[in-house]
C-alpha cells in the first residue's frame, strides 16, 4: 500500500527524500542493473508508474510540507526512491501551474559529506515517521470560506489544488482527474452517488444570459440537472467511481487538467415512465426506442400488457 512506503525525513525545514530499499543499509546506492551492449549502466532500476492512489499519497506529503513552510527538498543521487523523486517534480508542476512558489530541489552527490549524513539519519531511524504537527498551524494558503487554516480538515493536496491556476493559460494541473467518457456513459449517476469527496457532481448548465459558474444541484433526476461536473481538486483517488461504473466509462487520469462539463439530455422512459438523463451521445441512441437503460437492457417492458382470453 502507498502508506507503507518509506517516509521522508525533516531537518531544519528541509525535506529529505527517502532512499531506495537497501541504500541505507549498504551505505550506498543500489548495485547497477544489467545493461545491454552499448548502453551505459544505470544505478537505479526503472520505476513503475505509481497508481493514482500512490500518487495522491506522495503528493499529499509534499503538500503538507509546503503548507508547513518547507521550500527545500534534498535527494541523494543514485539512491533516492524514484517514486519520491518523480513526485517532487510533479508537485512543483502543480504549484507552478497555479503561480505558487515551487520547492527548490537539490541533488546531493553520493560521495559528499551531506550524503553520509543522510544515510546515517535513515539508518538510525528504523521506521522513518512523518514530521508531527503538520496540520497543527499551517500557513501559506487561506482556508475554505476564510476559516482558520488550523481547522481546515481537507487534505493538504486538496487545499493547494483549490487555488485557481494563474501561471498558464491552459489552466492548472491536478494530481488525479476523474474523466468520464460520454460515448460510454449511460447516465446512471452511480459515480455521483458514491463519490465520498463529491469530486463528481450534477449541475445546472449556465445559460447565455447567465455565464457565471453554474450552481450545484443535489443528486437525483430533475429537469434542472443538465451536466456532469468534475471537481478534480477534491478527488482522493479512492477509485470507487471506477469500481461502480458498469459501463467502464470512468478512468482516473494523473497530472491532467480539469475536464469539460458533460451535457446531459433528459427524457421519460416510454415503458416505465421514469425521468432519466444521459450524455447526448447515449441519449440519441435511446431516442429511437425511448427506453431507459434498465428497460432497454431487461426487455421486461414487453410484458407490461398481457391480453387475457
What residues contact 60, with CB distance under 8 A and at least 6 apart? Answer: 155, 156, 157
What's the pTM value of the predicted model, to 2 decimals?
0.76
Spatial distance between the Cα atoms of 73 and 3, rounded to a whole number of angstroms: 20
Of the ranges 165-174, 178-187, 270-279, which one carries the lowest mean pLDDT score?
165-174
- Give whichever of 131-135, 159-163, 219-223, 294-298 has the largest mean pLDDT: 159-163
Spatial distance between the Cα atoms of 19 and 4, rounded to a whole number of angstroms: 14
The answer, yes or no, to whether residue 164 has pLDDT greater than 60, is yes
Please give the pLDDT value at position 208.
46
Please give the pLDDT value at position 221.
39
Q: What is the mean pLDDT of residues 159-174?
A: 79
* Between 80 and 169, residue with greater pLDDT: 80
Of the ranges 106-110, 294-298, 305-309, which one carries the lowest mean pLDDT score?
305-309
Enumerate the domain spans of the chain: 1-29+48-171, 178-267
What residues contact 263, with CB distance under 8 A and at least 6 apart? Answer: 205, 226, 227, 279, 280
> Of the candidates 110, 73, 78, 108, which has an alpha carbon nearest to the alpha carbon of residue 92?
73
Tens digit of each residue's pLDDT (9 = 90 or more) over 264-297: 988 888 888 888 888 987 777 666 678 888 888 7
Q: Which fold has domain 178-267?
A: Alpha-Beta Plaits (3.30.70)
> Are the C-beta atoms of residues 188 and 244 closer than 8 Å to each other?
no
* Between 223 and 177, residue with greater pLDDT: 177
Q: Could you give the C-alpha distances from 213 to 168, 207, 218, in angstroms and in order?
A: 20, 10, 16
Task: Name the one residue in this structure whose C-alpha cell is 504537527.
Answer: 133
Cα dihedral angle (284, 288, 289, 295), rounded to 10 degrees? -20
Tens digit of each residue's pLDDT (9 = 90 or more) over 48-77: 678 999 999 999 999 999 999 999 999 998
The answer, yes or no, to whether residue 174 has pLDDT greater than 70, is yes
Furthest-apart CA atoms within the chain: distance in Å: 97
The answer, yes or no, to whether residue 37 has pLDDT greater than 60, is no
3-state secondary structure string, 8-23? Answer: CEEECCEEECCECCCH
Please give the pLDDT value at position 139.
44
Amino acid at each position: 500500500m502507498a502508506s507503507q512506503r518509506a517516509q521522508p525525513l525533516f531537518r531544519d525545514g528541509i525535506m529529505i527524500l527517502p532512499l531506495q530499499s537497501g541504500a541505507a543499509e549498504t551505505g550506498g546506492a543500489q548495485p547497477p542493473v544489467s545493461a545491454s551492449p552499448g548502453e551505459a549502466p544505470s544505478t537505479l532500476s526503472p520505476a513503475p508508474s505509481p497508481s493514482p492512489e500512490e500518487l495522491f499519497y506522495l503528493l499529499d506529503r509534499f503538500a503538507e510540507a509546503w503548507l508547513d513552510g518547507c521550500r527545500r527538498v534534498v535527494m541523494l543521487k543514485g539512491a533516492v526512491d524514484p517514486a519520491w523523486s518523480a513526485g517532487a517534480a510533479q508537485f512543483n508542476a502543480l504549484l507552478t501551474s497555479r503561480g505558487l512558489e515551487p520547492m527548490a530541489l537539490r541533488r546531493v552527490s553520493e560521495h559528499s559529506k551531506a550524503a553520509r549524513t543522510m544515510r546515517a539519519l535513515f539508518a538510525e531511524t528504523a521506521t522513518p515517521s512523518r514530521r508531527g504537527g503538520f496540520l497543527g498551524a499551517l500557513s501559506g494558503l487561506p482556508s475554505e470560506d476564510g476559516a482558520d487554516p488550523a481547522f481546515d480538515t481537507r487534505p493538504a493536496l486538496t487545499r493547494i489544488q483549490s487555488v485557481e491556476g494563474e501561471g498558464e493559460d491552459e489552466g492548472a494541473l491536478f494530481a488525479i482527474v476523474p474523466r468520464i467518457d460520454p460515448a460510454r456513459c449511460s447516465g446512471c449517476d452511480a459515480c455521483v452517488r458514491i463519490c465520498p469527496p463529491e469530486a463528481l457532481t450534477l449541475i445546472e448548465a449556465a445559460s447565455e444570459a447567465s455565464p457565471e459558474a453554474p450552481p450545484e444541484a443535489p443528486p437525483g433526476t430533475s429537469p434542472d440537472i443538465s451536466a456532469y461536473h468534475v471537481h478534480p481538486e477534491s478527488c482522493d483517488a479512492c477509485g470507487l467511481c471506477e469500481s461502480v461504473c458498469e459501463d467502464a466509462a470512468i478512468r482516473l487520469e494523473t497530472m491532467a487538467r480539469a475536464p469539460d462539463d458533460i451535457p446531459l439530455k433528459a427524457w421519460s422512459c416510454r415503458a416505465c415512465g421514469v425521468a432519466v438523463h444521459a450524455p447526448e451521445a447515449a441519449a440519441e441512441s435511446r431516442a429511437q426506442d425511448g427506453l431507459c437503460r434498465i428497460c432497454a437492457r431487461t426487455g421486461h417492458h414487453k410484458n407490461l400488457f398481457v391480453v387475457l382470453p
